[in-house]
Amino acid sequence: MPRTTRPTLAMTAGVAALAALLLAGCTGSGGTDSQRKDLADAVPGRAKAAATPTPTPPPTGPYVALGDSYTAGMQIPPHAGEPRGCSRSGVNYPSLVAKGLGVASGGFRDVSCTGATTVDLTAPQDTGNGTNPAQLDALTADTRLVTLGIGGNDAGFMEVVAECAKDNLVDAVKGVIKQTRAASPCRDHYSSGDGTDEVQRKVNAAGDRLGKVLQDIKRRSPQARVYVIGYPTLLPADPSSCLPVLGKTVAVPDLGFLAEKEQQLNGMLKKHAQAAGAVFVDTAGPSVGHDMCAGEDERWVEPPFPARGLAPIHPNAKGQEAVSGFVLKAIRG
């Protein structure tokens, strides 16, 4: 086995002295900036300056907007696009986002449609006034930005609101004929023995479908940045403050039930967006105080008896503009 010659202290010191001499010489006029940098970087223990990451610029298209009536801007003038049955607005949040990003003409496609569910993303949707093609068919390998607002119709949220109104009306009749009234007839209607109500089961099922949709979007448009848009706050934190707007149509505990279901819906959207590597855009938090029970000048969502020509329990033009701001902020980072 050959002997290993270990460097002597004098040799080590000599090498160190030589390195110091070279560095000292490089600090004068005898070396170039490049030489000084190279030699400095070669010295053990000398830390290099960390490079500052360059921010990724926001995409400027092609941009595809997918979604339901909350995305389409149901009944908000002016009407835009076909089929007419989608009730798509020219000032909905996708249109305002495209404008804010300066997306080039022809680089923006809004295929959102009133009444859409996750099923209508992969199959044609009959609107009763024309057929909307499968929304995901608008995606291509060139697509760089996708916004998706979907899930409320899968959970049957508007049907739940209508059912709550009906159950409370029936319960009110019981009160007139002096029968015992329920504290929360709508919650009772949807409750089950296992602790998971019917609405929650629908939300969970919608989440499973959403996860598959997000995978499909990634497959069709692998370079796209995907943003899942949540639903704005519909009811205030204190449901009793809705009495001046809604009267006693729905019991206060049932208004709390509806608010709870919306929170579960948004929670599902956030969970599946993050799992798929997409960005969830919260609109519920920023819209607090602008719910359907706020004053006409403050609300972003119309109440069951909306302003003339607008859709009940849907965003108005101010609501669409506000959501566009939240989406643009998320995109720009």
User: Which residue has better confidence, 112 or 175?
Assistant: 112
91 within some domain: yes
Position 247 scores a pLDDT of 73
Measured distance CA(153)–CA(158) in Å, rounded: 7
Measured distance CA(318)–CA(73) in Å, rounded: 11
Position 193 scores a pLDDT of 61
Position 5 scores a pLDDT of 42
Looking at the fold, whether 20 and 73 belong to one and the same domain comes out as no
Least confident span in 15-29, 58-72, 183-197: 15-29
Overall domain count for the chain: 2
> Quick one: pLDDT band at residue 290, thresholds 50, 70, 90?
very high
> Quick one: pLDDT band at residue 176, thresholds 50, 70, 90?
very low
Position 206 scores a pLDDT of 93
> Quick one: pLDDT band at residue 54, thresholds 50, 70, 90?
low
Looking at the fold, whether 233 and 312 belong to one and the same domain comes out as yes
pLDDT for residue 172 is more than 70: no
Looking at the fold, whether 228 and 131 belong to one and the same domain comes out as yes
Looking at the fold, whether 194 and 119 belong to one and the same domain comes out as yes
Mean pLDDT for the chain?
82
58 within some domain: no
Tell me which residue has tokens 């919260």.
282
Position 275 scores a pLDDT of 97
Looking at the fold, whether 230 and 294 belong to one and the same domain comes out as yes
Position 177 scores a pLDDT of 44
Looking at the fold, whether 199 and 260 belong to one and the same domain comes out as yes
Position 73 scores a pLDDT of 97
Q: Are 230 and 280 in contact (CB under 8 A)?
A: yes
The residues assigned a catalytic role are: 69, 314
Q: 263-276 burial by CB neighbour count: b if 16+ within 10 A, else e?
A: ebbbebbbebbeeb
21 Cβ contact list (under 8 Å, min separation 6): none
pLDDT in tens, 143-167: 999 999 999 999 887 787 777 777 6
2 within some domain: no
Beta bridge partners of 146: 64, 226
pLDDT for residue 301 is more than 60: yes
The two counts, helices (H) then strands (E), for the chain are 10, 7
Looking at the fold, whether 187 and 258 belong to one and the same domain comes out as yes
54 within some domain: no
pLDDT for residue 45 is more than 90: no
4 within some domain: no
Least confident span in 3-7, 43-47, 170-174, 282-286: 3-7
pLDDT for residue 44 is more than 90: no
48 within some domain: no
Find the CATH number of the domain harbouring 146: 3.40.50.1110
pLDDT in tens, 207-240: 999 999 999 999 999 999 999 999 999 998 888 8
pLDDT for residue 23 is more than 60: no
> Quick one: pLDDT band at residue 182, thresholds 50, 70, 90?
low
55 within some domain: no
* Best mean pLDDT range from 159-168, 189-198, 264-273: 264-273
> Quick one: pLDDT band at residue 251, thresholds 50, 70, 90?
confident
143 within some domain: yes
Looking at the fold, whether 293 and 212 belong to one and the same domain comes out as yes
- Burial of 94 by CB count in 10 Å (0-12 exposed, 13-18 middle, 19+ buried)? buried
Q: Which domain holds residue 111?
A: 63-332
